[in-house]
Amino acid sequence: MKADFEFIVESVRDAVLIVSAEGQIVRINAEAERMFGYPRQELVGQPLETVLPAGASIRAMAEVADSLARRRDGHEFFVDVSLSPATAGGVIAIARDVSDRKRMNQELGRQTSILESILNSMGEGVIVCDQTGKLLLVNPAGLRLHPALRGKEKPMEGESVSQEFGLFLPDKLTPYPVDELPLARVLRGEVVDGLEMFVRAPHVPEGIWTTVTARPLRDANGSFAGGVVVIHDTTAIKFAQGALLAGQEAEGKRIARELHDSVSQDICCLILDMAQFQRELPGSLGKVCDRINSQKEKLMEVAEAVDSVCRQLHPSVLERIGLNQALAHLCTEFNNRKGLHIRFSHGDTPTALPAASALCLYRVTQEALRNIVRHANAGYATVLISAAQGGLHLSIEDDGVGFDPKTVGAKARLGLVSMQERVRLVGGSLTIHSEPGNGTRIDLRVPLLDESPRPEYDTRLETGLETRLEAVAVA
């Protein structure tokens, strides 16, 4: 029996120290020699505190975790100690080296602290939930963007979520469908990228614009464990983009006025001078008169081209006759100048429209018709505008060659992105349907939100050049 005990003690992978009632080490095993670096004969008879500095307090406890131990060379490390009673009031101390575990815990704590600092300093809101939708973590930015999350413990569910948190579609009016919320989608295992959402909490009536991304979370075994949602406050970017677009429109108007007031007037004056010179020539110079007539016609074509550029840069016709007639005028111009047969129709649309929405619809139509002329090789196109629930629906369709939206060239893609950006800035949506050989259809929906009155328009760009050209024609 004694031989079996000796074999067991010497075979275990933990250090075994038998300590007398007086606290002296009376026996150790081979692992204790290796762990503490003492030869057996040198350690026997020494107090337990030689290898376990807190030996006195350890002997009063049954289990001690993360106790400090000391090697013969003075190196200190951590051990877990288990105590069992021995004969004559002594104890058997079994020590296990937990230095690796301690280092791992310290490293984990350090990484956790770094992660916590990063999350707390982020400007983006971060929400982490388990697979049931219960919140596990919300960083300070997340609480700032969604104060209702504070103290939220139960999983978020039900039709009231969008109302409770003030979550709306980009039209700023329609509560976000619960099944399409980023958290609901990520709990279904979906990936969400760049989803735009308008947030108007009860205490923040002006609201903010956000862009949301979301990813499912998986544990070490690859099993679904929840999701993480990251919320970017894009309000400043949204306003900056709107200001940039407004600045571009203002610059277009300025250039249009410069062209109208300088280049167009100079051309018309030149035509009038040529007409006067023609009248002063003797009647026998018929060939010269013919050449002058030819040059006058070319100059009038240049004047009309400049006028067309002015109208494109500054569509004041929108403010003068309204969107429907402006679009009809635009379609007629493309039909006359570009040879594209366009059928325009409109339903019962409001006569008074927000300036931003009207300009967006006009510019998208303008860009779409340009693309049809340049790329579609189409003979016919239709432009249809009608009232939709809470807004307007615009459809532009052609019978051209079509294209694959995924493989469209960089220049054409830039035009499509420009249209989408205009629509996004007014809270609308734009969808492109096309495939090679089957034409293209663009569907655009914009909300009709309250807005300040439209600015005064410059009637000079609508009447000045026509009057001068009429005078030239008479001359």
Write the pLDDT tens digit of every residue in 394-440: 999 999 998 887 776 545 555 677 788 778 878 888 888 998 888 99
Whether the per-residue pLDDT at 280 is higher than 80: the answer is no
162-166, 245-249, 338-342, 379-383 — which is least confidently predicted?
245-249
* C-alpha separations of 242 from 142, 209, 238 in Å: 26, 13, 6
Residues 450 and 406 in one domain: yes
The CATH number assigned to the domain holding 172 equals: 3.30.450.20
Of 104 and 243, the one with more pLDDT: 104
Q: 0.75 exceeded by the pTM?
A: no
Residues 350 and 419 in one domain: yes
Please tell me the distance from the alpha carbon of residue 325 to that of residue 175, in angstroms, as a whole number: 34
**Mean per-residue pLDDT, 265-283:** 68
Residues 226 and 250 in one domain: no
Domain extent, residue 438, equals 321-457
Residues 283 and 372 in one domain: no
Whether the per-residue pLDDT at 330 is higher than 70: the answer is yes
Which pLDDT value is given to residue 229?
A: 92
Whether the CB-CB separation of 69 and 76 falls below 8 Å is answered with yes
**Mean per-residue pLDDT, 364-380:** 88
Tokens for 349, please give them: 């649309």
Residues 146 and 200 in one domain: yes
Residues 404 and 278 in one domain: no
**Mean per-residue pLDDT, 215-235:** 89
Phi, psi for residue 213 in degrees, rounded to 5: -120, 150
Whether the per-residue pLDDT at 232 is higher than 60: the answer is yes
Please tell me the distance from the alpha carbon of residue 10 to that of residue 2, in angstroms, as a whole number: 12
Q: Is residue 107 in some structural domain?
A: no
Residues 308 and 366 in one domain: no
Report residue 457's pLDDT band, with 50, 70 and 90 as the boundaries.
very low
Identity of the amino acid at 193: D
Residue 167 β-bridge partners? 199
Q: Is residue 112 in some structural domain?
A: no
Residues 183 and 206 in one domain: yes
Domain count, the chain: 4
The mean pLDDT of the chain is 78
The number of residues in the chain equals 475
**Mean per-residue pLDDT, 255-264:** 58
Whether the per-residue pLDDT at 471 is higher than 90: the answer is no
Which of 47, 66, 101 corresponds to the end of one domain?
101
Whether the CB-CB separation of 340 and 375 falls below 8 Å is answered with no
Residues 452 and 339 in one domain: yes
Residues 159 and 256 in one domain: no
